[in-house]
Amino acid sequence: MKRTGPVVFGFLIGMLMLIQYFTQVPWIDDRYNNVLDWKQVVFGITLILGVVSLFLHHWKKIERKTGGWGYSVVTIAGLLFMIAAALIFGREEGPYPWMFDHVQAPMQSTMFALLAFYVASASYRAFRVRSFHAALLLTAGVIVMLGRVPLGEMMGFHIGEHYFSLGTISTLILDYPNLAAKRGVMIGVGLGMTATAIKIILGIERTYLGKGA
Which residues, 1 to 20, sit near other proteins by CB under 8 A?
A: 2, 5-7, 9-11, 13-18, 20
Question: Distance between CA atoms of 201 and 197, rounded to whole angstroms?
Answer: 6
Q: Which of 59, 63, 88, 141 binds other proteins (CB under 8 A)?
A: 141
Q: Is 23 in the site for other proteins (CB under 8 A)?
A: no
Q: How far apart are CA 73 and CA 61, in angstroms?
A: 9
When the beta carbons of 91 and 158 are compared against other proteins, the nearer one is: 91
What residues numbered 143-182 form the site for other proteins, per CB under 8 A?
A: 143-146, 148-154, 167, 170-171, 173-182
For residue 61, the one-letter residue type is: K
Please provide the size of the chain in residues.
213
Number of residues binding to other proteins, judged by CB under 8 A: 143
Whole-number Å distance between alpha carbons of 87 and 106: 24
Give the nearer residue to other proteins in terms of CB position, either 2 or 158: 2
Rg for the chain, CA atoms, rounded? 27
Q: Phi and psi for 92 in degrees, rounded to 5?
A: -90, -30
Please, which of residues 67-126 interact with other proteins by CB under 8 A?
68, 71-72, 74-83, 86, 91-92, 96-117, 119-121, 123-125
Instruction: Report the nearest approach of other proteins to the CB of residue 158 (Å).
Output: 19
Residue of 137, 157, 163, 204 interacting with other proteins (CB under 8 A): 137
Strands (E), 29-177: 156-159, 162-165
Which is it for strands 156-159 and 162-165: parallel, antiparallel or unpaired? Answer: antiparallel
DSSP 8-state class, residue 101: I
Q: Does 208 bind other proteins (CB under 8 A)?
A: yes
Is 198 among the residues that bind other proteins (CB under 8 A)?
yes
Q: Rounded CA gap, 74 and 81, in Å?
A: 10
Residue 170's nearest CA partner among 162, 161, 179 is 179
When asked if residue 130 is in the footprint of other proteins (CB under 8 A), the reply is: yes
197 is a contact residue toward other proteins (CB under 8 A):
yes
Closer residue to other proteins in complex, CB, 27/161: 27
Give, as one character, the DSSP assignment of residue 100: I
Does 63 contact other proteins by CB under 8 A?
Answer: no
Q: Does 59 bind other proteins (CB under 8 A)?
A: no
Nearer to other proteins, 31 or 158 (CB): 31
